[in-house]
Amino acid sequence: MVVAANPRNRKSRAAWSRMSWRVRAVREGLAGTRLSVSMSYNIPYDNHHMEGEMDITLWQFRYSPYNEKARWALDFKRLPHRRVDLMPGPHAGRVRKLSGQTSTPVVTIDGRPVAGSAAILAELDRLAPEPPLATADAEVRDIERRFDDDWGPRIRRKVLALLLEDYGYFTRVFAEGQSLAQRMIYRAVLPLAAGMVRRGNGIVGPESIADGQAALEEALDFVAERSRATGYLVGEGFTAADLTAASMLAMAVDPPDSTMARPQPMAKSFGAWVASSQAHPGAAWVRAIYARHRAG
């Protein structure tokens, strides 16, 4: 419930107008946002752009696995960059102005936008070939697409359905590090926006949630079997296939000490679900890949 201020004078009316706009913006942003949202426009990360280097900015939602792909690729290639967290709703105009569309991640490289995690990885491989992610390899691309377009969105439905069972924890996850006022607004609009979040992410009934669990099990089985010989999904080294698979599965595995680790303690049902997969060999593979290749 949002409690209205009493607009007795011009100053209080203006303050109330700003508050109402923020509530509408957050509600609208939640309706169209996928897994991850962050409640402010800020720059929490800047690893020191130096003269002569590319000027790179990542425009992101903090906990999205697709944004994690872009973050990981930038860190893996040791490319200095800024990370800008966007507020849902108001983010749309800024991202559309940057890239002609409204989805994240978007990377700007010397002012030139690249939108979408797969396109970003391919462009970073072109601009900074070492260390390589082998994004041009057909087998790597096939696995990346399988996680991006099939398993990832299906697993996300299960994740969101569980998080929406506890609005307080949902707020802790998606408004982490933001001001008290922003967290209060976010928490207040969740009951109004939850239905739109579900519909916008394809959560249309118990079957879609069960399908998300099935997708997780399929994907964990896939990486466990596929990596059995070498520890990697394609060949004998780390590629975009491993990066993508680990990023998507991080939604469920919650690798410790990583940029995808959720606030503790977790909500009861979500924590139980995360714990239920930890013994799977595929989850062990995710943790090993993060430990071995995710330094940033």
pLDDT value of position 296: 60
Give the residue, 122 or 8, on which the prediction is more confident.
122
Please tell me which residue, 30 or 98, carries the higher pLDDT value: 98
When pLDDT is cut at 50, 70 and 90, the band that residue 89 belongs to is low
Is the model's pLDDT at 258 over the cut of 70?
Answer: yes
The residue whose two tokens read 């069960």 is 210
pLDDT at 54 over 80: yes
Q: What is the bridge-based pairing of β-strands 82-85 and 106-109?
A: unpaired
Q: Are 167 and 191 in contact (CB under 8 A)?
A: yes
User: Mean pLDDT highest for which of 84-88, 169-173, 183-187, 272-276?
Assistant: 272-276
Residues 104/91, Cβ–Cβ less than 8 Å: yes
List pLDDT tens digits, range 150-160. Answer: 999 999 999 99
**So where are the chain's domains?**
138-293
For residue 285, give both structure tokens: 């593979």
CA 69 to the chain's CA centroid: 8
- DSSP assigned state of 110: T
Could you tell me the maximum CA-CA distance found in the chain, to the nearest angstrom? 72
* pLDDT tens per residue, range 160-188: 999 999 999 998 887 776 789 988 998 99
Q: For 147-167, give one letter per residue: b (16+ CB within 10 A) or e.
A: bbeebbbbbbbbbbbbbbebb
Return the H-helix or E-strand segment holding 57. strand 56-60
The highest-level CATH class for domain 138-293 is mainly alpha
Indicate the range of 51-55, 98-102, 194-198, 263-267 predicted with least confidence: 51-55
The yes-or-no verdict on residue 190 having pLDDT over 80 is yes
pLDDT for 171:
87
Q: What is the pLDDT of residues 13-40, one digit of tens each?
A: 444 344 444 444 444 445 444 433 333 3
* Confidence class for position 12, pLDDT limits 50, 70, 90: very low
Instruction: Give residue 41's pLDDT band: very low, low, confident or very high (50, 70, 90).
Output: very low
Helix %, strand %, coil % of the chain (to 5): 55, 5, 35
